[in-house]
Chain A
Amino acid sequence: MAALEMTTPDAAGNRPPKFSTKNVNVFYGEKQALFDVELDIVENQVTSLIGPSGCGKSTYLRCLNRMNDVVEECRVDGSILLDGHNIYDRSVDVVQLRAEVGMVFQKPNPFPKSIFDNVAYGPRIHGLTSNRAELVELVESSLIRAGLYEEVKDRLDNPGTSLSGGQQQRLCIARAIAVQPEVILMDEPCSALDPIATARIEELIDELRENFTIIIVTHSMQQAARVSQRTAFFHLGKLVEVGDTEMIFTTPQDQRTQDYITGRFG
């Protein structure tokens, strides 16, 4: 019941956060990568994480779907609540979590399979569809939502790796949304793409916002300014400042944020 209450808007009309993280500390062996990060992610918004290299923004992102589990030395402390449930709780199944929190990576990484099979992989392993027709429909609607369908509808049997870089990345987005997650994590999704492909992805992110909560790590401050509603600035493993994107880029409260966005370091 508590969880249900939390997901409904309160009296003031403020929606409860999708993710609510408190005192998140991450260690790689002896080395601490994140210090007491406290950050709420608002539903159906794009939140961008910015900061210089090595500041911990990717580490934080990978805590949200427990991708850090695969890193043997990695230890995560603190509470990360998704819809009020701690995802690091023993009772949480990591496979289930990753189906709810999808991820798009820095380098496009389609499977060496056909375009269709790439998108169909997630629904297949989770048994989301009961027959072939449903699967085809789900794959097509995912490709449509990822803005790729028109370009590939005649060659769904071609290998996903035969597409251009930007198309591959949209294929990866289609693959992520085919599982019908609630949150999509994007780890520098445009850093390997040219400006035109980047613009397409950014448009796409803006469209996807309606249905998904998106968290994006980016090195480009222009990109953060263009696509996100909220921005969080990380520095040396600490969350320095978080707020509405406009505010962060116009009137940052912290000197370090000011220095970073004006290009004095980073």
Chain B
Amino acid sequence: MTDLASNSAPRQTTERIAASLPRRYARDSRFRYYGLVAIGLALAFLVLLFVSIVSKGYSAFFQTEIRLLIEFDEDRLDPNGTRDPSVLAGADYGGLVKSSLRGLFPEAESRRDRKSLNRLMSSGAGFVLRDMVTNDPSLIGTAQEVWLPAAADIDMLIKGFIDRSKPASERRVNDKQIAWVDALQERDAIERHFNTRFFSAGDSREPELAGIWGAVVGSFYTLLVTILLAFPLGVMTAIYLEEFAPTNRWTDLIEVNINNLAAVPSIVFGLLGLAVFLNFFGLPRSAPLVGGMVLALMTLPTIIIAGRAALKAVPPSIREAALGVGASRLQVVTHHVLPLAMPGILTGAIIGTAQALGESAPLLMIGMVAFIVDVPTGPIDPATVLPVQIYLWADSPERAFVERTSAGIMVLIAFLVAMNLIAVVLRKKFERRW
């Protein structure tokens, strides 16, 4: 009897295990399926986002230009013949554009018609001519065929964003303008060219003249300040707290506060920057320097927390080994712990700076939302940053700013991807085989 009992027990166990197996495997495969669905959904939304941004924004990379025959009339540009740069810079180039247009379409005689006709061209057309002449004064006295930017409304018409079938009162271009544009098209005098201005100019009230470069440079300086401040400070704080600080009530307090700081809404940092950096220290408004300092405050907790986690992950055996041969505590950190923790620290720094790159709220507080036309040349020039520029354009009523908003987002994403690539390369460089 006892034999039978002891034999049947293992068999029972085997049967039970066998019975439970299908359920367990089913659970396994279901879980994998959920994961795939989740990833698929995320990818679908990502694709949707990119498709919508790119389809809206790609047209901003092209700008409608009109070919005009411009007579650089010496009497109008430099009546005294001195070729004095200040005289050349101050001449009436808009007038040249207007008379060229009038030459093309002499039928526009009434004041109103002439005004409509002049509105075909961007107000920036004159500046293009001015730059041409100041760069090359020998143009004066000659006649040149020049491609000049069309007005934003004409650009929209060419790109098909203005519905011709609507009554004239409901669209931004009138019937005569449409007729002129068609006439120009017949002569191949109106074309879409690659929009180099978008990548080289600062902001403008005229959509066709507005560019992203000012914001790119502003973002660059802001992030430079952020990284230069937050990275060394954050890493040193993390090293001190993790490797040197005694554990007592003070370090506990500091740790709790750092964790709290990571959760503070970013606009609060903006208010802090406004109160401390601008009002108390009197630093310049709208400057990337101050923006970078504010964003550094915001990024610090992220870097510190990630840095501490990375330092903690370095096995203690390495510390002991180094101490055992007589390395000082600083040597243990700089020779062994820090190099091994570097990939993790860099990951934290990248997450922090990527967050800072996309941040606009704290920068609004310190005046980086100002309308700034010039491309900044240093970290104390007034500037704006990419997300704020996107916000400003998204807020503008002109139809032509819609595509520029999306194009700005594309540039922001490209900037982010470039930053992450640098980080991946750096991380690969620091990573060591274990």
Min C-beta distance of A180 to chain B, whole Å: 11
- Interface size for A (C-beta < 8 A) is 29
- A 220-249 binary contact with B (CB < 8 Å = 1; else 0): 000000000000000000000000000000
- With a CB–CB cut-off of 8 A, which chain B residues contact A80? none
Asked whether, in the complex, the Cβ of A179 is within 8 Å of the Cβ of B320, the reply is no
B binding-site residues for A, Cβ under 8 Å: 246-247, 315, 317-328, 331, 335-336, 340, 432-434
At the interface with chain B, which of A40-48, A99-107, A146-154, A255-263?
Answer: A99-107
- A95-B327, A104-B324, A161-B433 known, 10 other contacts, Cβ within 8 Å: A99-B326, A102-B324, A105-B317, A107-B317, A111-B318, A111-B336, A121-B327, A122-B326, A125-B326, A179-B325
| Cα-based distance from A151 to B273 in the complex (angstroms) | 62
Which A109-165 residues have C-beta < 8 A from chain B? 109-112, 121-122, 125-126, 159, 161
Expressed in whole angstroms, the minimum distance between the Cβ of A150 and any Cβ of chain B is 23
Flag whether A98 is at the interface (Cβ < 8 A): yes
Query: How far does the Cβ of A112 sit from chain B's closest Cβ, in whole Å?
Result: 5
Closest A residue, CB atoms, query B315:
A109
Chain B residues contacting A72 (CB-CB under 8 Å) are: 246-247
| Chain A residues near B324 (CB-CB < 8 A) | 65, 67, 98, 102-105, 176
- 25 inter-chain pairs at a CB distance below 8 angstroms, sorted by A residue, are A67-B320, A67-B323, A72-B246, A72-B247, A95-B328, A98-B324, A98-B325, A104-B324, A105-B320, A105-B321, A105-B324, A107-B317, A110-B321, A112-B318, A112-B433, A122-B325, A122-B326, A125-B326, A126-B326, A159-B433, A172-B321, A175-B325, A176-B324, A176-B325, A179-B326
* Nearest-Cβ distance from residue B342 to partner chain A, whole angstroms: 12
Q: Which residue of B lies closest to A119 (CB)?
A: B325
Question: Does A70 have its Cβ within 8 Å of any Cβ on chain B?
Answer: yes
List the B side residues contacting A103 at CB < 8 Å.
320, 324
CB-based contact A112/B432 at 8 Å: yes
Contact B326 A109 (CB under 8 A): no
The residues of A that contact B320 with a CB separation of less than 8 Å are 67, 103, 105, 109
In the assembled complex, the Cα of A172 lies from the Cα of B321 at a distance in Å of 8
Most buried by B among A97, A109, A161: A109
Q: A99-B326, A126-B326, A176-B325 are in contact. Are A109 and B434 (CB under 8 A)?
A: no
Which chain A residue has the least Cβ–Cβ distance from B325? A122
CB distance from A55 to the nearest CB of B (A): 21
Most central of A72, A125, A172 by chain B CB within 10 Å: A125
The complex places the Cα of A107 from the Cα of B321 at a distance, in Å, of: 10
Q: What are the 7 closest A-B residue pairs judged by CB atoms, nearest first?
A: A99-B326, A103-B324, A109-B317, A122-B325, A98-B326, A109-B321, A112-B432
Q: Is A91 an interface residue (CB 8 A)?
A: no
Chain A residue at minimum C-beta to C-beta distance from B433: A159
Q: State A107–B328 Cα separation when bound (angstroms).
A: 22
CB distance from B107 to the nearest CB of A (A): 82
A98 touches B336 (CB 8 A): no
What is the CA–CA distance of A104 and B324 in the complex, to the nearest angstrom? 8
Q: Are B317 and A95 in contact (CB under 8 A)?
A: no
- Are A109 and B318 touching (Cβ within 8 A)? yes
Indicate if the CB atoms of B322 and A111 lie closer than 8 Å. yes
Cβ B325 vs Cβ A112 within 8 A: no
Chain B hits for A95, CB < 8 A: 326-328
B247 contacts A125, CB within 8 Å? no
The residues of B that contact A179 with a CB separation of less than 8 Å are 325-326
Report how far A99 CA is from B317 CA in the complex, Å: 18
Which chain A residues lie closer than 8 Å to B335 at the CB level? Answer: 121, 125
Residue numbers in A under 8 Å from B318 (CB-CB): 109, 111-112
Query: With an 8 A cutoff between CB atoms, is A96 at the interface?
Result: yes
> Which residue of B317, B319, B323 contacts A98 across the interface (Cβ within 8 Å)?
B323
Cα–Cα distance between A110 and B320 once the two chains are bound (Å): 11
A43 to chain B, nearest CB (A): 21
A70 to B319, CA, bound (A): 10
Bound-complex Cα distance A103 to B336 (A): 17
Contact (Cβ within 8 A) A70 B326: no
Chain A residue nearest to B321 (CB atoms) is A109
Bound-state CA distance A235–B322 (Å) is: 30
Whether B327 contacts A125 by the Cβ 8 Å rule is yes
Instruction: Collect the chain B residues with CB atoms within 8 Å of residue A98's CB.
Output: 323-326
| Min distance, Cβ A183 to any Cβ of chain B, angstroms | 12
Complex CA–CA separation, A121 to B327 (angstroms) = 9
For window 188-223 of A, CB contacts with B under 8 Å fall at none
- Contact yes or no, A112 B434, CB < 8 A: yes
A89 to chain B, nearest CB (A): 18
Residues of chain A within 8 A (CB-CB) of B326 are 95-99, 122, 125-126, 179
Which residue of A is nearest B340, CB measured? A112
**Chain A residues with CB under 8 A of B434:** 112, 161
Q: Which residues of A contact B328 (CB under 8 A)?
A: 95
- Report the nearest B residue to A122, measured CB to CB: B325
Residues of B within 8 A of A122 (CB): 325-326
Q: How far is the CB of A63 from chain B (nearest CB, A)?
A: 14
A67 contacts across to B, CB distance below 8 A: 320, 323-324
Bound CA–CA A69/B331 (angstroms): 16
A99 and B325: CB pair below 8 A?
yes
Give chain A residues whose Cβ lies under 8 Å from the Cβ of B433: 112, 159, 161
Q: CA–CA, A121 to B321, complex, Å?
A: 11
Q: Which residues does chain B contribute within 8 Å of A161, judged by CB atoms?
A: 433-434
Cβ contacts under 8 Å, B322 to chain A:
111, 121
Min C-beta distance of A181 to chain B, whole Å: 9
A119 to B324, CA, bound (A): 13
Residues of A within 8 A of B325 (CB): 98-99, 102, 121-122, 125, 175-176, 178-179
